[in-house]
Structure 1
Amino acid sequence: MSFSEDFKRSLSAINEQTFVNSSLKAFEYQYRHGTIYRQYCDSLYKTPNNVKELYDIPFMPIEFFKNHAIKSGDWKETKVFKSSGTTRTGRSQHFVKNEHFYQEKSSEVFIQKFGDLKEMRIIALLPSYQEQGDSSLISMVDHLISMGNKDSGYFLNSNVRDLLRQPGKKIIIGVSYALLELASDKAEVVDTIVIETGGMKGRRKEIIRDELHNLLIESFDLTEIWSEYGMTELMSQAYGNKGLFELPLWAKCLIRDINDPFSYLPDGKSGGINIIDLANIDTCCFIETKDLGRATGKYFEVLGRFDNSDVRGCNLLI
């Protein structure tokens, strides 16, 4: 079995004590087998010879996914995920070696956070993503729906209101504008978890997350709204409420200094978000995003985006 397949099998066993060592192993593998990533590392004079600590590892700018097929190793993709492409700068592409592996890990994270799905009805309100047909979010939700009860599926607001009043556990996964449309109708929800995936997709004016959550909490008479943080270029997702996201143990958020992208900030300080996602072993595990945020312990917040960066993805953008 290859290193990457062995590594993927070990992901669920990674913990705080083994994370750094696993990250260094992933770096060395991707330096050796990832042409684009190696060229980037070489331009920074970073190699396995002088990368000895977690903070030595170079993070590849997320823009590289727009112009290159990012791969570690020689393999044929089974799927290409594409970003929503809401700007003139082109759509980001994530070449996926094994779509089933992506679905497996994303459902593992989801179940850890929200429990067994067998008795839950998954209600997806994602019309704009369905129209695309090549969204990582749709791939994930397709798999979650297959794991939910027989009445799970994709719905439109016009035929979901009656479902929400019925007994039984339910999870709504919805893009922001669809949830707001449902909330404006004062839909009654019973025994329901609401997860917003962010983004108005040009359908409504963008609003900050706190305002969105307050509107939904009041309309649905709930105590909390959950958010998902994910993007085309990542294999893993973070979930959180009250604006605090948590990644699985095989992933980590680091905050870089916006004036010096190779320096990192302590807890509570705001800067650029770097993500280590070890589930990305077939592409690149170390990604410099265009999101701004801050981290405290195992949680992180998303505060906005850099100027002139893409307004896209599965997170609510400010």
Structure 2
Amino acid sequence: MPERDSLDLELQAYIENGINDDARFNELALQLFDYQYRRNAAYRRFCRSRRAEPGRLLRWEQIPAVPLTAFKDLTLACEPPEDAAAVFMTSGSTDPSRRGRNYHPHLHLYDASLRAGFARSFLPDRRTMRMLVLNPRPHQQPNSSLAYFLGRLVDFFGTEDSAYLMDGDDLQIDKVVAALREAETTGEPVALLGTSFAYVHLLDALEQEGLTFHLPAGSRLLDTGGFKGRSREVSAEDLRASFMQSFGIPAPWCINYYGMTEISTQYYDNTLRDALLGRDIRSRHKTPPPWSRIRIIDPETGANRPPGEKGLVVHYDLANRGSCLAVLAEDSGYDVLTDNPEDGGFVLLGRAEGAEARGCSIALDEMLQANRP
């Protein structure tokens, strides 16, 4: 069996197993680093500049993390880009001429991560559910990881009466209202899925019409994204309050997820899972699944920040086999402490500013310097 196929099977088995095994994660991360070092030329040059080579590293924490912006400036792929089964691209809202690209030779690992993570954090009590999607269909946004993600959720977990309620950029308010009224009548719980800004648009329209709903118990809501490039922003707390007021969905059942084009795993709020397990919800934070790790680092030294102290977010994602498993985000956050370490996680604070932003710039300069002729 070719090395690539063998590695893919090992990674997929670990993702689908769903058991948090530090020793096995470390073994697979070092194995994947070795593969990406040999196959990804731009990444290899960067690692050599840091004297990080296979055989010299003992822990996953030592694997060099690629700065997020490098995906805009370099081709970070382990196989020929022209052979990619999918190319996910950033929106380019900051600079349309420069869009980050993540090349996927196949989507087996992406799908495995998507299925396991969603079932673990959003549907731990159900196998399927009617899904109402406030986003265009995947074929309307072929390079959008978000559109692909939501489409596969419908494929894997949606009942036959699930529906997409946007056509391009047009949110079909009448269809949303009809679907929500139907849910109230039948008593069957529904799941609302969409971007934060789509919800703001919907909430504004419902308020204008004086419409509110009391969706059946067990209904839930997933939102993602921020308001970059938008003229209006709404805090997460205000959004959850509006969800309760407009849909009757309690705050713990309103889940935000954090994902990026440049990685292949999503991070969900802990609250729905904790509520179903009868746990006391002391904080709202993102929980990394077993096939991913998060480090919160000092932007100057690269050392781990103590819990509660702000730093840069670094992702280590075993599902991101096609490019780089270690990615330095342009976001800041902090670790949280819980009674059970396996239920810990991190709080996302938003785009890096100040020292954290300078740390991202320095990392990018180092990456580009290593790849200059």
- Distance, in Å, in 2 between the alignment partners of 1:84 and 1:73 is 23
The CA distance in 1 between the partners of 2:142 and 2:231, in whole Å, is 22
Match of 1:6 among 1, 4, 9: 9
Aligned counterparts of 1:33 and 1:288: Cα–Cα separation in 2: 20
Which deviations, in whole Å up to 9, do the C-alpha atoms of 1:256-302 show, x marking residues without a partner? 10222x22212222100000000112211000000100112431111
The residue aligned with 2:363 is none
Letter in 2 for 1:230: G
Aligned ranges for residues 137-152 of structure 1 at < 5 Å? 137-147=146-156, 148-152=158-162
SS in 2 for 1:182: helix
Equivalent residue, structure 2, for 1:164: 180
**Cα 1:127/1:307, change in 2 over 3 Å:** farther
Q: From 196, 200, 208, give the equivalent of 2:227.
A: 200
One-letter amino acid matched to 2:289? P
SS at structure 2 position matched to 1:48: coil
In the alignment, residue 174 of structure 1 is paired with which amino acid? Answer: G
Distance of aligned partners of 1:177 and 1:187 in 2 relative to their CA distance in 1, 3 Å threshold = farther
Indicate conservation of the 8 Å contact 1:256/1:265, yes or no: yes
Listed as ranges, the gaps of 5+ residues in structure 2 are 166-171, 272-282, 358-373
Calculate the TM-score normalised by the size of structure 1. Answer: 0.88
Deviation at 1:62, TM superposition (A): 1.1
Partner of 2:369: none
| C-alpha spacing 1:250/1:104, structure 2 compared with 1 (3 Å) | closer
Q: What SS does structure 1 have at the residue aligned with 2:319?
A: helix
Correspondence 1:86 to 2:119: no
> TM-score of the superposition, structure 2-length normalised?
0.76
User: RMSD of the alignment, in Å?
Assistant: 2.4
Q: CA separation in 2, counterparts of 1:188 and 1:290?
A: 38
1:1-318 equivalences in 2 (<5 Å) = 1=1, 2=3, 3-12=6-15, 13=17, 15-17=20-22, 18-73=24-79, 76-88=83-95, 90-113=98-121, 114-115=123-124, 119-127=128-136, 132-147=141-156, 148-155=158-165, 156-165=172-181, 166=183, 167-184=187-204, 185=206, 186-191=211-216, 192-200=219-227, 202-224=229-251, 225-240=254-269, 241=271, 243-260=284-301, 262-296=302-336, 297=341, 298-307=344-353
State, as a whole percentage, how many aligned pairs show the same letter.
Answer: 28
Report if aligned partners of 1:128, 1:201 keep a CA contact under 8 Å in 2. Answer: no
Larger radius of gyration: 2
Deviations 1:151-188 (A, max 9, x none): 11210333112212312121111111221233331431
Partner letter of residue 123 of structure 1?
Answer: L
- Tell me the residue number matched to 1:315: none
Return the structure number with greater strand share: 1
Secondary structure class of the residue paired with 1:275: strand
Letter in 2 for 1:257: D
Q: Deviations over 1:225-260 (max 9, x none)?
A: 210111101111111146411122000111010222
Distance 2:326 2:237 in 1: 29
**Does the aligned pair in 2 maintain the 1:243–1:301 contact within 8 Å?**
yes
Which of 239-248 and 272-281 deviates more? 239-248
Distance in 2, matches of 1:292 and 1:130, equals 33
Q: Counterparts of 1:108 and 1:228 in 2: how far apart (Å)? A: 14
**Native 8 Å contact 1:117 1:149 kept in 2:** no
Q: Alpha-carbon deviations, 1:10-30, whole Å to 9, x = none?
A: 322362332222222222222
Taking a change above 3 Å as real, the CA distance of residues 204 and 159 of structure 1, as seen in their structure-2 partners, is farther
Return closer, same or farther for 1:129/1:143 CA change in 2, 3 Å cut-off: closer
How many positions carry a matched residue from both structures? 308
Alpha-carbon distance in 1 for matches of 2:325, 2:112: 18
Q: Larger helix proportion, structure 1 or 2?
A: 2
Query: Take 2:90 and 2:137, find their aligned partners in 1: how far apart are those partners?
Result: 12
Q: Does the 8 Å contact 1:183/1:220 carry over to 2?
A: no
Q: Are residues 129 and 289 of structure 1, via their aligned partners in 2, closer, same or farther at CA, if it must alter by over 3 Å?
A: farther
